[in-house]
Structure 1
Amino acid sequence: MKKIKVRKIGNSLGVILPKSTGIHEGDELYFMQKGERLILDMTEADINRARTIIEKGFDDFKYNRTLTEDEMAKLLGKYGWHK
């Protein structure tokens, strides 16, 4: 188990979490206290991050930035793309 230091941030307290936790800046986490343990729940943050990635993947369709098979063949034919 790694140690992390509690720091004063304004009128609150905070901790710096390692990148290896998978938590990203701006994520909102649920927390609960069970006895002497604090539990951070990343479930909703992971779902929201995945939703953002998926929605961004549809931007090309939303803004009509798609190519036909013929256009793909013309642009990428030299790499083996063909009908």
Structure 2
Amino acid sequence: MKQITVRKIGNSIGGIFPKEWGLHEGDVLNVRREGNLFILDAQDAAKEQDRQLIEESFADFETRNTVTESEMTELFGKYDWGE
């Protein structure tokens, strides 16, 4: 289990999360408290990150920056693309 050290940040307190958790600056975590147990829920943050990736992917379609399968075969057929 990872441990998070609570630190003073200005007039508040906060924690530093391990990079492996995949959180990004500005992510909002939902917190549920059950006695002394704090449950951090990052599902909404993950959905927002996925939404941004999808929107960035569709930007290529809007700018017509795409290649058809036949164009890929023509360009990369010598490397066995499309076989």
- TM-score normalised per structure 1: 0.80
How many pairs align? Answer: 83
Name structure 1 gaps, 5 residues minimum.
none
**Deviation of residue 35 (structure 1)?**
0.9
What does the per-residue CA deviation read over 1:11-42, in whole Å, with 9 as the maximum and x for residues that have no partner? 11000111222222221111122211111111
Counterparts of 1:31 and 1:11, CA distance in 2: 20
Identity of aligned residues (%): 49
Is the alpha carbon distance of 1:65 and 1:37 closer, same or farther for their aligned partners in structure 2, counting shifts above 3 Å? same
Counterpart in the other structure of 2:27: 27
How far off is 1:75 after superposition?
A: 2.4
Unpaired segments ≥5 residues, structure 2: none
- For the aligned residue pairs, the C-alpha RMSD in angstroms reads 2.0
TM-score using structure 2 length: 0.80
